[in-house]
Structure 1
Amino acid sequence: MATLIRPPPIDHSQSNIENVLELTQLSDIDPDLFTNTRPLWHPPGARGIFGGAAIAQTLSAAQKTVDKEFTVHSMHCYFVLAGNAEIPIIYHVERVRSGKSFATRTVQARQRGKVIFTTTMSFVRQNSGGEQLVEHAYPMQDVPAPIDGMDDLEMSGNRSPFQSQRMPIENDDSDQPHLKKCRQWVKARGTISPAGGHEAHLSAIAYMSDSYFIGTIARAHKLWRYSTQRKSKAKSSIDEDVLKKLLAMDDTELRRMKFVDEADIQRIRRLRNGEDLTEDATPEIGMMVSLDHTIYFHNPRNFRADEWIFTEMETPWSGDGRGLVFQRMYTQDGTLIASCVQEGVVRLRQSDSKL
């Protein structure tokens, strides 16, 4: 059962992402308890729920417990256990502090009594900084605008609640991964309803901020994410059914996939031609999962998540089985609306390891 309570009919006055992120308040038990109203989106090839769903729904739950003049400015999240898309999630909001200028909330997401995700977030009262401000922002680079009708293809009929258009990796030919930037345009599908308010737009960019975030490291290192070790008992880092679908695509279709790079296309082409890649020297990802996720929101009431947002990601470091990625999110006119950081497990497949 993917929800605790039978979902109501789809609200067609709301966007896809609003319906996906809708929460039900469990007032009869505790006014600070919430659960997902509808089944959560399961990304093709993923082992659990999309991490952005937990990020966005904990934010949505916390936003329901603060006064309207308060807006989130930061949230610090930890992925504790993999979420199961077939089990309802219970969100418990703890009202840590409600001050004059700032409010603090902690939210735990639980399945079967176990914490799978936890976050602490801070809210600030609107216009509490005064009339004179210290202001600056990292500028958005000059990039081609998104093209209507050129959204990345979907791997199945289970469409994501947001659209994306990936761009070529900047400095992709460099032998220094920290110099590369992975870039894409994203936006929520449809139009977010006026009833959703600024809260719906904030939850939507929180959701989209997890799009291929830790995967930046695999892309920067040109790592192979599909197992070629046919006799290995270890699971590959992506569902084998997805690899079969990729093998059936031509190069043009592959280039439109948001998680397939030129290095992947070359290997897929070799697999399609029947080449044995078991002796390939290219390292394979054995495990890649997010550990934590931080978002700093800027200009939180001055953007729309259903309009194109440019994101660029870069990785300053990886080592010891982990990696770190930074992300900036901009409106199409160049306004910086969020800065994000994520650390994750990034382990290579070991031929004789028990990792």
Structure 2
Amino acid sequence: MEASTNSMNQVEHAQISTALEVERLEVNLFRSKELWVPTRARGVFGGQVISQALVSATNCVDPAFGLHSLHCYFLTSASPATPIVYYVERLRQGRSYVTCSVKAVQKGSLIFILMCSFQKPEPWQPSHQWTMPVVPSPAECELQEETFLRMSKAEKLDPKVKEFLEEYAAERQRSPIAIKAAKLHEVFKDGTVRYMYWMQAKNIPAYEPHFQKCILSYLSDLSFIGTASRTLGLKSRSRGPGALAMSSTIDHSVWFYNNTFDCGDWLLYVMTSPRTGSGRGIVHGQLFTRQGTLVAATTQEGVVRADIRGPSSEGPAAKL
């Protein structure tokens, strides 16, 4: 199930197959080919590390078993300058479930660890799901790069803000994932704040279900931990107690409940943040097809720090 590509060695990995591709070195040993650092980020995009680890694990599992869940920890930021090596270990082989661990190593240090579980599907079992929220269709929504470019043309805009918006617009144009805001900042009576985005892998063929789950895992990390800082009202590129000083993922989980979705079509990503505190925030998500099928649920916790110095810290964005 290795992702094939007519790679042009694009640093910005404009094709998702390039972003997820790994080289098999041994039976259970794989190495990254392309690594990408988002604009103004601390290290390699976490969703890419997750998805490359999943591609590695899936190559070591009988295709009769389909990925149903993953749980991972980011131990330190990855550098794009050195390939990441992924070591897959099969922990359990049962009749219904297979469990694997994947350790990601860079320069001799463990930077990331993933646990993932595969199941033989049981479609005859009963099921239920939450209803998809009512939102405008993808055709009615604007691409993020168009939104950023439109905002960058505002009159009397600070030159630094203009540069910031243009950088993000260019990055969104190069990204293998298209994003459209479906409905932002929806506030309920109980205080819940909900954000919703349409997401789609650009120009992909009809990949098999195993690889579709790896693509979904990649996009599941986009705009996700930011839900916590947005719910708090923290602002980027500013200073003081209301400013976002640092945001970084600690752990990430995905549960899959469908084997037939297509990331080449639009998926609605619904995000909420029920709690932040002590410099951390947790976010929950659900991914729906356009037809309303809930295909995956997600959870992530991350460092979310405001620009406030603690009594013994060196600064609001001190090292983890």
TM-score interval, normalised by the smaller of the two chains: 0.7 to 0.9
Structure 1 letter corresponding to 2:32: N
Kept in 2, the 8 Å contact 1:164–1:186? The answer is: yes
SS of structure 1 residue aligned to 2:216: helix
Structure 1 letter corresponding to 2:226: G
1:175-201 C-alpha deviation (Å, 9 max, x unpaired): 97x511011000101023x4x421221
Gaps of 5+ in 2: 146-167
Q: Distance in 1 between matches of 2:214 and 2:266?
A: 15
SS of structure 1 residue aligned to 2:51: helix
Query: Counterpart in 2 of 1:54?
Result: 49
SS of structure 2 residue aligned to 1:46: coil
1:87-132 C-alpha deviation (Å, 9 max, x unpaired): 11000000111111100000011110111110101100133x6x3x
Gaps of 5+ in 1: 1-6, 229-280
Q: Distance in 2 between matches of 1:163 and 1:296?
A: 22
Query: Counterpart in 2 of 1:210?
Result: 221
Larger Rg: 1
The counterpart of 1:181, out of the listed 176, 180, 194, is 194
Query: Counterpart in 2 of 1:144?
Result: 136
Structure 2 letter corresponding to 1:180: V
Structure 1 letter corresponding to 2:273: T
TM alignment of 1:100-115, pairs within 5 A: 100-115=95-110
Query: Counterpart in 1 of 2:182?
Result: 167
Structure 2 letter corresponding to 1:182: Y
Kept in 1, the 8 Å contact 2:66–2:118? The answer is: yes
The counterpart of 1:316, out of the listed 250, 274, 281, is 274
Higher strand proportion, which one?
A: 2
Kept in 1, the 8 Å contact 2:141–2:181? The answer is: no
Structure 2 letter corresponding to 1:147: A
Kept in 2, the 8 Å contact 1:286–1:349? The answer is: yes
Assess, with a 3 A threshold, how the Cα gap between structure 1 residues 198 and 349 changes in structure 2: closer, same or farther. Answer: same
Structure 1 letter corresponding to 2:170: S
Q: What is the total number of aligned residue pairs between the two structures?
A: 283
Q: Distance in 1 between matches of 2:69 and 2:295?
A: 12
The counterpart of 1:156, out of the listed 159, 170, 180, is 170
Kept in 2, the 8 Å contact 1:170–1:180? The answer is: yes
Q: Give, in angstroms, the shift of residue 292 of structure 1.
A: 0.3
Kept in 2, the 8 Å contact 1:48–1:85? The answer is: yes
Q: Give, in angstroms, the shift of residue 225 of structure 1.
A: 1.6
Q: Distance in 1 between matches of 2:236 and 2:129?
A: 35
SS of structure 1 residue aligned to 2:54: helix
2:85 maps to 1:90: yes
Query: Counterpart in 2 of 1:42?
Result: 37
TM-score, normalised with respect to structure 2: 0.82
Query: Counterpart in 2 of 1:126?
Result: 121
Kept in 2, the 8 Å contact 1:21–1:56? The answer is: yes
Structure 2 letter corresponding to 1:284: A
Query: Counterpart in 2 of 1:287?
Result: 246
TM-score, normalised with respect to structure 1: 0.75
Kept in 1, the 8 Å contact 2:71–2:252? The answer is: yes
Greater Cα shift, 150-159 or 211-220: 150-159
Query: Counterpart in 1 of 2:76?
Result: 81
Query: Counterpart in 2 of 1:268?
Result: none
Q: Give, in angstroms, the shift of residue 350 of structure 1.
A: 2.0
Query: Counterpart in 1 of 2:153?
Result: none
Structure 2 letter corresponding to 1:22: E
Query: Counterpart in 2 of 1:99?
Result: 94
Query: Counterpart in 1 of 2:17?
Result: 18
Greater Cα shift, 153-162 or 314-323: 153-162
Q: Give, in angstroms, the shift of residue 167 of structure 1.
A: 3.0
Give the share of equivalent positions with the same residue, in percent. Answer: 33
TM alignment of 1:340-355, pairs within 5 A: 340-351=298-309, 353-354=313-314, 355=318
SS of structure 2 residue aligned to 1:56: helix
TM alignment of 1:190-209, pairs within 5 A: 190-192=203-205, 194=206, 196-209=207-220
Q: Distance in 1 between matches of 2:276 and 2:241?
A: 17
SS of structure 2 residue aligned to 1:171: strand
Assess, with a 3 A threshold, how the Cα gap between structure 1 residues 155 and 45 changes in structure 2: closer, same or farther. Answer: farther
Q: Distance in 2 between matches of 1:334 and 1:170?
A: 21
Q: Distance in 2 between matches of 1:306 and 1:210?
A: 17
Q: Distance in 2 between matches of 1:351 and 1:325?
A: 24
Q: Give, in angstroms, the shift of residue 150 of structure 1.
A: 3.2
Kept in 2, the 8 Å contact 1:44–1:155? The answer is: no
Kept in 1, the 8 Å contact 2:228–2:281? The answer is: yes
